């Protein structure tokens, strides 16, 4: 049975349901920032949860219904990182996260983006899967933000779990950043040897 022909607009720019969901997640960023700055942490928590669910949904649709596009491969991580970094910066600004945690999270993401661009420019461009430690780190970053937003939404004071999660994020952020630096160095060294 022949496959239905994609809509011409979709074929040209790769705009499909998963990508529209990713765009929607990107549009939640200003709302999340505004809610945190207005001390509406409970609502910000639910916006953050909705963003997480939308990430799972767009990934499921893209994989199971063959709706992957190059635009989606860029848009999905951009939406994820923009939301996470923006929430970290805003919670840091509101004195709800340690400045060291915020600086490390933002620096690590800038390092990864810079390293990726460097590799694409000077080595054989290709898609690199995230490192395992990076997945653990991202998971802990999400848990910390969700916990802090939920705690603030309930009006609870910081406790021992805040400290444990913050130290876990610091440790895995440093390990992840160093692991990426080593990965980029190995790739660049192999690329130079190939010349």
pLDDT tens for each residue of 37-91 = 999 999 999 999 999 898 888 878 888 777 777 777 778 888 889 999 999 999 9
Total domain count, the chain: 2
Query: CA of 165: how far to CAs of 27, 76, 142, 171, 188, in Å?
Result: 28, 26, 10, 10, 34
Same-domain check for residues 51 and 123: no
Same-domain check for residues 122 and 43: no
Same-domain check for residues 150 and 186: yes
Residue 91 falls inside a structural domain: no
Same-domain check for residues 129 and 155: yes
Residue 116 falls inside a structural domain: yes
Q: Which of 119, 87, 120 is closest to 106 using CA atoms?
A: 87
Q: What is the pLDDT of residues 3-31, one digit of tens each?
A: 544 444 444 456 788 888 889 999 999 99
Same-domain check for residues 76 and 11: yes
Residue 134 falls inside a structural domain: yes
Residue 92 falls inside a structural domain: no
Rounded distance, CA 176 to CA 131, Å? Answer: 8
Q: How far is CA 146 from the centre of its chain?
A: 14
Rounded distance, CA 112 to CA 176, Å? Answer: 9
Rounded distance, CA 58 to CA 86, Å? Answer: 21
Extract the tokens encoding 130: 């995230």
Mean pLDDT throughout 141-152? 96
Which domain covers residue 161, as residue numbers? 97-195
Residue after which a domain boundary falls, among 28, 62, 84 = 84
Extract the tokens encoding 77: 């991580």
Same-domain check for residues 156 and 185: yes
Q: What is the pTM of this model?
A: 0.84
């Amino acid at each position: 049975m022949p496959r239905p022909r994609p809509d011409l607009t979709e074929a040209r720019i790769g705009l499909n349901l998963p990508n529209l969901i990713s765009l929607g997640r990107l549009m939640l960023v200003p709302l999340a920032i505004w809610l945190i700055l207005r001390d509406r942490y409970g609502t910000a928590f639910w916006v953050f949860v909705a963003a997480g669910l939308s990430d799972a949904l767009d990934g499921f649709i893209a994989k199971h219904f063959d709706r992957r596009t190059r635009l989606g491969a860029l848009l999905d991580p951009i939406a994820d990182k923009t939301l996470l970094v923006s929430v970290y910066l805003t919670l840091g600004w509101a004195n709800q996260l340690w400045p060291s945690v915020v600086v490390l999270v933002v620096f690590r993401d800038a390092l990864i983006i810079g390293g990726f661009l460097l590799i694409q420019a000077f080595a054989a461009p290709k898609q690199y899967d995230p490192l395992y430690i990076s997945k653990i780190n991202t998971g802990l970053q999400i848990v910390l933000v969700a916990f802090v937003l939920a705690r603030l939404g309930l009006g609870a004071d910081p406790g021992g779990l805040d400290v444990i999660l913050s130290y876990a994020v610091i440790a895995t952020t440093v390990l992840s950043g160093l692991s990426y630096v080593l990965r980029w160095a190995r790739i660049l060294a192999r690329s130079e040897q190939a010349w």
